[in-house]
Amino acid sequence: MKHTLIALVEDKPGVLNRVASLFRRRAFNIESLTVGRTHEPEVSRMTILVDTELTAPHLVEANLSKLVNVIDVHDVTQTPTVMRDLALVKVRADAGTLAEINQLADIFRAKIVDVASDSVILEVTGDEDKITGLIDLLRPRGIIEMVRTGQVAMVRGVNESGTNKRMNGNGNGHGNHHQ
């Protein structure tokens, strides 16, 4: 089984290194980790998928919470959540197969974002199952190259204790980052 954790972290140099170092040191088995900006300028957001066969998710969450640069961590596995992954897939295509690939793309609501004489690039967004489904169908046609962003997650609705509300540690404010 997989657990999904969302971590809000300070957008400072070395923070990703601290998180990665923690996972390595504690031998945590991480399925995927994505990191990017949020609507708040000093806050980055990580979505972490933990393989629970090998790693206890509560230990990942508790250890992350101990890092000074980590603002908040939530295990959203049990919470209704929108999960998205984006893949770019370059597949062999010529005049004879292009129509068929186009049809496949339509079914999966993927987009053809680049056409070359011998190949096309498809962009597909969705949850894990959808993307894997499309890739399985494309594979026999010859995948030349592929890249995936890893999954990002967002909890549905507004919830005060959730990830849409930045934790301020019992109303202490989040000052004191010496800029």
Partner 1 sequence: MAIRTGAQIIWECLMRENVSTVFGYPGGTILPAYDAMLDYPIHHVLTRHEQGATHAADGYARASGQVGVAIATSGPGATNMVTGIATAMLDSSPIVCITGQVGTAVLGTDAFQEVDITGVTLPITKHNYLVMRVEELAATMREAFHVAREGRPGPVLVDIPKDVQNAKCEFAYPDAPIAFPRRRIPAQVPDDELERAAEMLNQAERPVILAGRGVLLSGAAQQLREFAEKTQIPVVLTLLGLGVFPRQHPLCLGMAGMHGEAYANRAVQNADVLIAFGMRFDDRVTGNLKTFAKTAKKIHVEIDRSEIAKNVHVDLPLLGDARAVLEQLIPRVETKPREAWHDQIAEWRSETQARDVLRQEETEGLAPAHVIHDLWQATEGKAVVVSDVGQNQMWEAQYYRHDEPRTLITSGGLGTMGFGLPAAIGAKFARPDAEVWVVAGDGGFQMTQAELATIVQERIKINIAIINNGFLGMVRQWQQMFYERRYAATPISSPDFVKLADAHGISALRVRRREQVIPAVRSARANPGPVLIDFRVQQEDCVYPMVPAGADLREMIRRPMEMEMAK
Q: Which residues of the chain form contacts with partner 1 (CB under 8 A)? A: 14, 17-18, 21-22, 25, 56, 58-59, 62-63, 65-68, 70-72, 167-170, 172-176, 178-179
Tell me if 89 sits within 8 A of 121, measured CB to CB: yes
Helix (H, G, I), strand (E, B) or coil at 29: coil
Tell me if 45 sits within 8 A of 36, measured CB to CB: yes
Taking the complex as a whole, how short is the minimal distance between the CB of residue 59 and partner 1, in angstroms?
Answer: 6
Taking the complex as a whole, how short is the minimal distance between the CB of residue 18 and partner 1, in angstroms?
Answer: 7
**Residue number with CB closer to partner 1 (72 or 85):** 72
Taking the complex as a whole, how short is the minimal distance between the CB of residue 7 and partner 1, in angstroms?
Answer: 11
Taking the C-alpha atoms of 154, 124, 34 and 30 in order, what is their torsion angle to the nearest 10 degrees?
Answer: 100
**Residue number with CB closer to partner 1 (132 or 159):** 159
**Residue number with CB closer to partner 1 (78 or 179):** 179
The C-alpha atoms of residue 51 and residue 100 are separated, in whole angstroms, by 36
CB atoms within 10 A of CB 32: 18
Which of 73, 78, 82 minimizes the C-alpha distance to 154? 82
**Residue number with CB closer to partner 1 (58 or 139):** 58
Taking the complex as a whole, how short is the minimal distance between the CB of residue 1 and partner 1, in angstroms?
Answer: 17
Taking the complex as a whole, how short is the minimal distance between the CB of residue 65 and partner 1, in angstroms?
Answer: 6
Sequential DSSP letters for 145-165: EEEE---EEEESS--TTSTTS
**Residue number with CB closer to partner 1 (59 or 113):** 59
The C-alpha atoms of residue 121 and residue 93 are separated, in whole angstroms, by 10
